[in-house]
Structure 1
């Protein structure tokens, strides 16, 4: 039985109309919240990439690193608090968890940078189309890394 204090999403499921979805939500909460916050992280990544690359004219690989920093900071805290309930005991455990999270995200950053380099820099595909496609691949990889390594229970 789940003894955790209900979070904001649990409380939303008690609202009229939404409460009909509560059994489905409870069964698939982690995945649903990952899709929600992963979607927000996706939006942050794509918008900040567009700002750096398209608006400021920054190189696609450099723009991607700046957008990655902002998206990963957002993702760490939302994944830790709501998606995987990654409570830690003390600063040392928190630091290890954060380093594992960022380490996993660095791995997928390398994957994304290779995709951008090959398809934008070398093959000349459209920057935003490639960025969006790369983000979809990265979201799936990030979930697997977070679930199996960073926030495993």
Structure 2
């Protein structure tokens, strides 16, 4: 645990902790994406677009939770804020899904590349795009203002 604290402190002092933790969870989201793609395609023999879509849904749900809680430590002051944040997250993930699907089709159909090699390459592009989207447009720091509780004057009299 001491090594972890020292490592985290060092990265925080250099301003790299957020990037490191994003890449860590981005890597795990990539594993979720890749494994769910392989399972859906090999066990259920579904097409590449369907398998890719299912794997995308799995990784987006995983990524939202990890990004919100551990990477950007975003606090939602209300349910409305939470749902807006989730909607923005899904919107930008749809954008990166288009990048993912377009690159997959280009590499598999256009360049005759193995679909698993193409999947690995596209995931690097997607993780980079998603970090930029999350940092700039989704998990903005929300200042939560707590108003002081006023005491009832009648009770004090």
Q: CA deviation at 1:122?
A: 4.0
CA shift, 1:113, in A, is 0.6
Matched, 1:148 2:136: yes
List alignment gaps of at least 5 residues for structure 2. 142-157
Q: Does residue 79 of structure 1 match 2:48?
A: no
Alignment partner, residue 144 of structure 2? none
| Alpha-carbon displacement from aligned partner over 1:62-108 (angstroms, at most 9, x marks no partner) | 11100000000000011001100111111111000000000000000
**2-side partners of 1:85 and 1:95: how far apart?**
16
CA distance in structure 1 between the partners assigned to 2:64 and 2:17 by the alignment: 18
Q: TM-score, normalised by structure 2?
A: 0.83
Aligned to 1:21: 7
Based on CA coordinates, which of the two structures has the bigger radius of gyration? 2
Q: Does 1:60 align with 2:60?
A: no
CA RMSD of aligned residues (A): 1.4
SS in 2 for 1:17: helix
* 1:51 counterpart (21, 35, 39): 39
Q: Distance in 2 between matches of 1:92 and 1:104?
A: 18
SS of residue matched to 1:86: coil
Q: Shift of the alpha carbon at 1:115?
A: 0.9
Match of 2:87 among 99, 109, 119: 99
TM-score normalised over the length of structure 1: 0.85
Distance 2:3 2:98 in 1: 43
* Inter-partner Cα distance in structure 1 for 2:86 and 2:57: 13
In structure 2, C-alpha distance between the alignment counterparts of 1:16 and 1:86, rounded to whole Å = 26
How many residues get paired? 139
**Structure 2 residue matching 1:85: 3-state secondary structure:** coil
Give the match for residue 11 of structure 1: none
**Does structure 1 residue 119 correspond to structure 2 residue 107?**
yes
Structure 1 gap segments, 5+ residues each: 1-14
Q: CA deviation at 1:57?
A: 2.3
CA distance in 2, matches of 1:131, 1:24: 33
CA contact (8 A) 2:8 2:17 kept: no
